[in-house]
Amino acid sequence: MRSPWAWIPSLYLLQALPYVTVMTLSVVMYKNLGLGNTEIALYTSWLYLPWVIKPLWSPLVELLGTKRHWIVALQFAVGAALAGVALTLPLESFFQMSLAVLWLMAFASASHDIAADGFYLLALETHEQAAFVGVRSAFYRLANIAGQGGLVYLAGFLTERWGSARSAWQVVMALLAGLFVLVALYHLWALPKPAADRPAPRQQDFWRESLQVFAEFFKKPAILVIVAFLLLYRFPEAQLLKLATPFLLDPVAQGGLGLSTQQVGIAYGTVGLSALTLGGLLGGWVISRVGLKAALWPLILAMHVPNVVFLLMAWAQPQSLWWVSGALAVEQFGYGLGFTAYLMVMILVAEGPHKTAHYALCTGFMALGMMLPGMWSGWLQDQIGYMWFFAWVLLATLPSFAVTALIHVPPGFGKKA
């Protein structure tokens, strides 16, 4: 069997890029094309819906075909959808049309996530899952750097060169489409063929089995605490994330920092996300050494406390790119540490005979926890301004701490034997 290094980096780069497109690139793109914060936050948050409801069709991936075949086919589908976004941007009704195609891309990507996460759980032993969760998170974040850093910078550069943000974003989306096709071809060769990657045995009719898979998830001990944890762990980030880029781009007179698109690509998309990647690697290593139970509280504190840098930036409005990049690096490094703990809790919850479907349910709740707060965040910021909005984000960490106090982690889980 091939080394995990041959496929985990590329698999999680491609898992991340559609999510980055929905989460960040679409926000910057629509901001560059003249839409307002309320409109951007509301409509791009709706694009999370496929990740929320993907558990509804996760049994299809569990019961039909292999995860390997699903992965490759869906990577081609995402590439086609991204090409479709590029084609809609010159149209008069580009906003509605591009949102519709992004919606289709999100469905394909959410289905790909089910297969990819299930494949990860099937192809690796538990201690390997813990050891590689940092690597997986790191390359997921490298995709963020490529997207929020390189592609945002490229869009800004091409906009200045050509004088057309629309044409610049067409090129960006076309490049993404080509990348997906090329890596899908690579995965035809690189993905291993573990013996466990086969359709789950079917003993009853299909739909009854599907309902049974869901029912078994909701019979897990302390399921209400688990669901609350999945929904609220990222509650502050869900709001911060939608407004971080508009805050950096908006002029100083409107409470922002007045950075150019290229500067945002450097500060947030490259420096900040490089720090986040390092945090993810360190978080995975810490969990594999001491176990999730011992690491959970230090990691959640590392994730949420550094959010204070956004409040400080909104108050001081620094004009130095060095200061802004340094502040973002601190916040993103802490987030990288904390997110590894969240991933390991989801792996813990998914343990059992239906890992793929149950992990998909976990990520569905995670997406819902990102979608709902994100929808109102733009409206809230428009009402109270950036400084008070970031103060609210700090207050919003309290529910995250409360649910973490209730979650039960077995001693030694995630620790390398």
Q: What is the mean pLDDT of residues 233-253?
A: 90
- Cα 99 from Cα 47, distance rounded (Å): 8
What is residue 145's predicted lDDT score, i.e. its pLDDT?
76
User: Does residue 64 carry a pLDDT above 90?
Assistant: no
Backbone CA torsion sign across 335, 336, 342, 346 = positive
Q: Sorting pLDDT into bands at 50, 70 and 90, what band is 30? A: very high
- If you ran DSSP here, which 8-state letter would residue 204 be given? S
Per the CB < 8 A criterion, the answer to whether 361 and 56 are in contact is no
User: Does residue 335 carry a pLDDT above 70?
Assistant: yes
User: Which residue matches tokens 């994730």?
Assistant: 303
316's CB contacts (< 8 A; 6+ apart) are none
Q: Which residue has the higher pLDDT, 304 or 268?
A: 304
What is residue 375's predicted lDDT score, i.e. its pLDDT?
86
What is residue 104's predicted lDDT score, i.e. its pLDDT?
93
- Cα 80 from Cα 190, distance rounded (Å): 21
What is residue 313's predicted lDDT score, i.e. its pLDDT?
95
What is residue 197's predicted lDDT score, i.e. its pLDDT?
76
Q: Which of 111, 108, 114 is nearest to 77 (CA)?
A: 108
**Alpha-carbon distances, residue 155 vs 28, 195, 208 (angstroms):** 9, 44, 49
- Cα 366 from Cα 47, distance rounded (Å): 14
pLDDT in tens, 344-367: 999 899 887 777 778 878 888 888
**Alpha-carbon distances, residue 370 vs 45, 126, 376 (angstroms):** 8, 27, 11
- If you ran DSSP here, which 8-state letter would residue 275 be given? H
What is residue 88's predicted lDDT score, i.e. its pLDDT?
94
Q: Which tokens sit at 163? A: 């004088």
What mean pLDDT is reported for the chain?
87
> What 3-state DSSP class applies to 315?
helix
Q: Sorting pLDDT into bands at 50, 70 and 90, what band is 125? A: low
What is residue 323's predicted lDDT score, i.e. its pLDDT?
93
Q: Which tokens sit at 188? A: 């035809």
What is residue 363's predicted lDDT score, i.e. its pLDDT?
83
What is residue 130's predicted lDDT score, i.e. its pLDDT?
66
- Cα 359 from Cα 350, distance rounded (Å): 5
Per the CB < 8 A criterion, the answer to whether 214 and 360 are in contact is no
Q: Which residue has the higher pLDDT, 142 or 410?
A: 410
DSSP string, 82-102: HHHHHHHTTSTTHHHHHHHHH
Query: One-letter amino acid identity for 44?
Result: T
pLDDT in tens, 278-331: 888 898 889 988 889 999 999 999 999 899 999 999 999 998 999 999 999 999
End-to-end alpha carbon distance in the chain: 22
pLDDT in tens, 184-216: 999 988 888 877 777 766 555 666 777 787 888
Q: What angle do CA 357, 367, 107 make, to 5 degrees?
A: 70
What is residue 128's predicted lDDT score, i.e. its pLDDT?
67
User: Does residue 75 carry a pLDDT above 90?
Assistant: yes
What is residue 350's predicted lDDT score, i.e. its pLDDT?
87
Per the CB < 8 A criterion, the answer to whether 15 and 118 are in contact is no
User: Does residue 136 carry a pLDDT above 80?
Assistant: no
What is residue 376's predicted lDDT score, i.e. its pLDDT?
86
Q: Which tokens sit at 109? A: 């990507």
Q: Sorting pLDDT into bands at 50, 70 and 90, what band is 241? A: confident
What is residue 391's predicted lDDT score, i.e. its pLDDT?
96
- If you ran DSSP here, which 8-state letter would residue 352 be given? S
- Cα 261 from Cα 248, distance rounded (Å): 9
Which of these ranges, 166-175, 225-234, 373-382, has the smallest mean pLDDT?
A: 373-382
What is residue 324's predicted lDDT score, i.e. its pLDDT?
93
